[in-house]
A and B are shown apart, each in its own frame.
Chain A
């Protein structure tokens, strides 16, 4: 009995080492996700990208992911866990993972890290994000064309530059169509709370807005707009099934091409620490089909998209006038430079509201 057990154990050991040997040939790539994959929004899009990666390079790599990892100290443990499991390239996909990623990166100089939407880098830690405000500019054009009441409703998550630059890009675009356009802004102070997002959408519609825009992650606002016969834009993902007659377009996070490019670099041994901030030109995000609008509005949107992609149209073209009526210093030639947009903490003229904390 004991002998057969020993044989079994030896066999298992052997089997284990064989599979480990074959796995060692493959590059191990790890992912840290903020939410559950099924959230239909932020994390869902990152996982779609991971799947695209597996489809493209599946015979050369092996991917692992950890879902629902809270930002903060827990993240550090989870990232380290991926390092210990032998992952050589690790994507950490939320702003709050910035410091934990940096800490682990400094500890393991031979492992490469990719952090989404942050600004801290290391020789073995890159950052990547997308210029979503380009998409918001297109949405602003559509919204101003489609609004009958002249009042847009905007659900913000947190008053951080990423969201503020989105609001400003929207309004600057809308003002080119209707100089008197109004926007009502409600901060939900959360990225994800379907109930609260729905309540915010209701409040905006009850106060006269007829096009709803959101910078929160669930399809709740789309659903409310659909119930009330208003129009809306999706966020992160395609949300048209929650408002077949409601969704005008949606900003789609398409990380796939970037992930494939970076993993290919890692495989080729040419990976180095970079800061990638791509827009429509680099396919970092895409626009969902333009629906529920007349052909001329659709054409306007498509033309704007083409112009932005070609670099002929910049949403923050100077002069950009702040709420105080003074033009903002123009550091980027004929438009605001990337640093100014990355740190944007003011509203542009025409927004009849106060930025929280200002």
Chain B
């Protein structure tokens, strides 16, 4: 029983940065903007988040630093792709390269420093309940925040008028513009939201997951978050399933190796990606509810004046 609990806790922790970053990117993409710079925004968020927490001694301020860093990075992206109508794919890739360099520069003075990691919740008697106690009431704040975030985004996209307009911009920016909605402004907010989430997701790594900073510590999680958005076919509900599936496969394959299950570890490591490809194929073959990508995703919009 203890082992099951330990595995669930590890899965929750492993999935959290993916869920936060992917939720932000989902909103960005739903507005019609493809920002491939998630990894770059995350890694700068990690460096700034750690710097903030180390300088102030507060995890909360560290998280804020991460959010601000991600936001600033996304503003650069917004300026390029929305302001100057530069190609989104190229700009996103450049943003990642920039982020990797920047985080090394910002974090250089913090390598090897340590901080007290984010506190885990503890509610007497509730947290002590067997099995579910620690899962429901004993994780760090990031874990619960990520779930609240994705529920909030679902509610916003499908239950509010603003969410409907945002989705309209992503599906047909010309019509949305003709109806008088400020497409570029809406997209800018969506890009910023995505950047803030990526920054927070990056900050999660040095603040809670492994409480130290080392350059390159996001190790490609931003790319997984991007894949998750596609895996979820741009739907928050499926995104939660995808993120936890990814986390679960990652953790379970480690345990399977420890138990000596004879499946090659290389195959197990590749499994989540394989699942993404299979889901994509199935989606594109499905007749209804198939290709659900926002129709205007990745296309530049220049309003006629």
Contact = CB atoms under 8 A, between A and B. Distances in A.
Contact of A203 (B107, B258, B262): B258
A223 interface: yes
Range for the number of chain A residues in contact with chain B: 35 or more
Contacts of B107: 38
For the residues of B in contact with A, the DSSP-based class is helix
A223 B211 CA distance: 8
B133 to A, nearest CB: 17
Nearest to B252: A203
Contacts of B295: none
B254 A356 contact: no
A190 B257 contact: no
A298 interface: no
A109 B254 CA distance: 47
Nearest to A208: B258
Interface in B125-183: none
Interface in A175-222: 184-187, 189-190, 192-196, 198-200, 202-204, 206-207, 218-220
For the residues of A in contact with B, the DSSP-based class is mixed
A194 B3 contact: no
A187 B257 contact: yes
A40 B250 CA distance: 25
Interface string A84-126: 0000000000000000000000000000000000000000000
Interface stretch (B52-60, B189-197, B214-222, B236-244): B214-222
Interface stretch (B70-78, B82-90, B263-271): B263-271
B250 A199 contact: yes
B210 A198 contact: yes
A194 B260 contact: no
Contacts of A196: 219, 250
Interface string A10-43: 0000000000000000000000000110111000
A127 to B, nearest CB: 27
Interface in B271-285: none
Interface in A127-186: 153, 159, 184-186
B114 A242 contact: yes
Nearest to A352: B260
Interface string B99-143: 010001001100110100000000000000000000000000000
Contact of B6 (A187, A202, A220, A354): A202
A198 B104 CA distance: 21
B251 interface: yes
A241 interface: yes
11 contacts: A68-B104, A194-B209, A196-B250, A198-B209, A199-B10, A203-B258, A204-B258, A219-B212, A241-B112, A354-B260, A354-B262
Interface of A: 35-36, 38-40, 68, 153, 159, 184-187, 189-190, 192-196, 198-200, 202-204, 206-207, 218-220, 223, 241-242, 352-354, 356-357
5 closest Cβ contacts across the A-B interface? A193-B219, A187-B265, A38-B111, A36-B215, A203-B254
